[in-house]
Structure 1
């Protein structure tokens, strides 16, 4: 399939998603999920570039507003009915991210009097640090695409809210993976594998976008540097590898703008860990497995990372010649895309149970061939 045809397929996938979730059609506009919507916004900006149509940019901005409206308020089944920030509607519209944003899970968050259930926790609401960083990257993209400073300011306010995920106990500094909706207590205490890394790039990118307010983030940056020191980032998880590839591009962009990074998060280090991760993953990747035994959004996250970083290779001279090693993994990305483009594979339960996130992730991977810059 030619690149233009893949972009057309991506557009059709996104149009279905937007209709089902009430952005364009009669679907439920309250059906918001932060991770999925973040990538959907990026994909819409990609469509606006590829098809040279401002309509898609307008949809991206509308989706951002819907996310702030619904995920900036308490869960529909929560007894609390106000904004999670406690601000009035007027003030909340000016500062929609100042207290973070909900995940968008089906069930309300676990109450303090409820016991922890590891399986049920996946279905419960709250806030994830790695979802907040994904939304920060989306807001920074909106800032670049529109030249409107308010998106960068909202990104700043969101990363300052997310600082509450970081805690210190004596000489130990740590980071919670999941917190309650108002960021008052941890719900899952373990640390996400790449959370400190993504927090670092968000903070640094905001400092570059808002230099006059950069000093506000210096204390947070020092904490994140402490969390990142001595770390390796290699992983055998497909989605994690995709994220690491995207972060390699972010690190290179920060360096190119004269930003300073510690050695553990420099682009050369991240590329090395990414390539090692791909070496671990690919021998066990069986592209002939049936759809029911595969998760499209995890595979799509990997193919997106491969596509996006490869698409930026001309801009990333600092990573040559090592970046050329990524070429041999382009076939992995294509096999993933081709498999999930087959309609009968999208009939599988594994697709239908995660239809929205699968749809958006596949669309992003397809668009990254022609518009890689919107995913970094």
Structure 2
């Protein structure tokens, strides 16, 4: 029988992906995820990356093959929508039938242009690579990790300025066709995230040094520009903790980043004034990112109790989330409840040498 936590997890996922528990086996191979992830033509890359990984958590926790199939079906749909132009008439430039991710993947923004228009985000793309990598590990099908590597190679040089110089840097957002930067500043964790995710892809690859050059690029920019200091942004703290947990106890930067962010998490959520601050004035999905990251980084009983207490408070308000934020909120709520597939060794022992 499913636990209360699993039941809440499933209910949140069903708010985005429809009735899952009652899907019959005969319908699984033709299942098309409803267009409800909050983006253009119903797909949004960040939300659906969480969706894929959450399906893998359900597969692991419930030992039900259907959730692995649903993860695969969601991947197909995302590639068929976000790997194509907005009108759906052609693949993104650089993509082919043999290399469908050669043009990257669109964010899925509702607007084509403008300050919050469509394009490609580095941190969304690396999260999608991670989802493909986890699907490969869960299913034993190397093709998914191969797709992640193809995507990694395609987008990598497009996010760098003066890539081969000693002063190389990255940009945060590029155009849908990857031809130009749209936001020239660098994301705070982009180089660090690339450094970690590309190492995960390489560890699972047949070729042991397939992304060596790209990893070296990230390491250089990471040393030049990324900080191990904590911020006050809860989502940033959570994603930093998630990234750090892969190499905590192994790499000094991971220990420094993780411990600094964990202190900040304890300070923010341990403050009674914060706990009593009106929930409607806080963004749930950003806090869920913090809570998920903290659970990945440490199993300390006090931290787990603290994170669960915040999740419990939010559980009373989760269904009142404004419609436009509901998809991202629901998938991240599930991940905060149970981040199994986001965790190192969460699905299986990690392949290769990280």
Q: Secondary structure at the match of 1:101?
A: coil
Task: Name the residue aligned to 2:265.
Answer: 278
Name the CA distance, whole Å, in 1 between partners of 2:137 and 2:33. 28
| Residue pair 1:200, 1:224 contacting (<8 A) in 2 also | yes
Name the CA distance, whole Å, in 1 between partners of 2:277 and 2:267. 18
What is the CA-CA distance between 1:28 and the residue it aligns to? 5.8
What is the CA-CA distance between 1:24 and the residue it aligns to? 5.5
Alignment of 1:203-218 (within 5 A): 203-212=198-207, 214=209, 216-218=210-212
Deviation digits for residues 51-76 of structure 1 (CA, Å, limit 9, x no counterpart): 11111111011001111000001123
Name the CA distance, whole Å, in 2 between partners of 1:143 and 1:329. 31
Task: Name the residue aligned to 1:199.
Answer: 194
Q: Secondary structure at the match of 2:246?
A: helix
Distance 1:206 1:25, change over 3 A: closer
Task: Name the residue aligned to 1:346.
Answer: 319
Task: Name the residue aligned to 2:338.
Answer: 367
What is the CA-CA distance between 1:223 and the residue it aligns to? 1.3
What is the CA-CA distance between 1:237 and the residue it aligns to? 1.0
Distance 1:280 1:229, change over 3 A: farther
Is residue 2:78 matched to residue 1:104?
no
What is the CA-CA distance between 1:140 and the residue it aligns to? 0.6
User: How many residues are aligned here?
Assistant: 330
Larger helix proportion of the pair: 1
Alignment of 1:216-295 (within 5 A): 216-229=210-223, 231-233=226-228, 234-252=230-248, 263-264=252-253, 267-282=254-269, 286-295=274-283
What is the CA-CA distance between 1:252 and the residue it aligns to? 4.5
Aligned equivalent of 2:141, options 123, 145, 148? 148
Name the CA distance, whole Å, in 2 between partners of 1:355 and 1:287. 22
What is the CA-CA distance between 1:280 and the residue it aligns to? 5.0
Q: Secondary structure at the match of 1:187?
A: strand
Alignment of 1:31-42 (within 5 A): 31-42=42-53
Q: Secondary structure at the match of 2:9?
A: helix
Name the CA distance, whole Å, in 2 between partners of 1:41 and 1:3. 20
C-alpha root-mean-square deviation of aligned residues, in Å?
2.9
Aligned equivalent of 1:60, options 44, 48, 71? 71
Distance 1:345 1:206, change over 3 A: closer
Deviation digits for residues 336-369 of structure 1 (CA, Å, limit 9, x no counterpart): 2112221x553254xx330100011001111227
| Residue pair 2:54, 2:341 contacting (<8 A) in 1 also | no
Distance 1:272 1:156, change over 3 A: same
| Residue pair 1:238, 1:302 contacting (<8 A) in 2 also | yes
Task: Name the residue aligned to 1:321.
Answer: none
| Residue pair 1:242, 1:302 contacting (<8 A) in 2 also | yes
| Residue pair 1:43, 1:364 contacting (<8 A) in 2 also | yes
Name the CA distance, whole Å, in 1 between partners of 2:59 and 2:108. 26
Which segments of 5 or more consecutive residues in structure 2 lack a partner in the other structure?
Answer: 20-29
Distance 1:369 1:28, change over 3 A: closer
Task: Name the residue aligned to 1:333.
Answer: 307
Which segments of 5 or more consecutive residues in structure 1 lack a partner in the other structure?
Answer: 111-120, 256-260, 314-323
| Residue pair 1:303, 1:332 contacting (<8 A) in 2 also | no
Deviation digits for residues 29-63 of structure 1 (CA, Å, limit 9, x no counterpart): 83010000001111111111111111111101100
Normalising by structure 1, we get a TM-score of 0.79
Task: Name the residue aligned to 2:26.
Answer: none
Normalising by structure 2, we get a TM-score of 0.84
| Residue pair 1:109, 1:181 contacting (<8 A) in 2 also | no
Distance 1:185 1:82, change over 3 A: same
Deviation digits for residues 129-176 of structure 1 (CA, Å, limit 9, x no counterpart): 000010011011011001111111111111112211011186521101
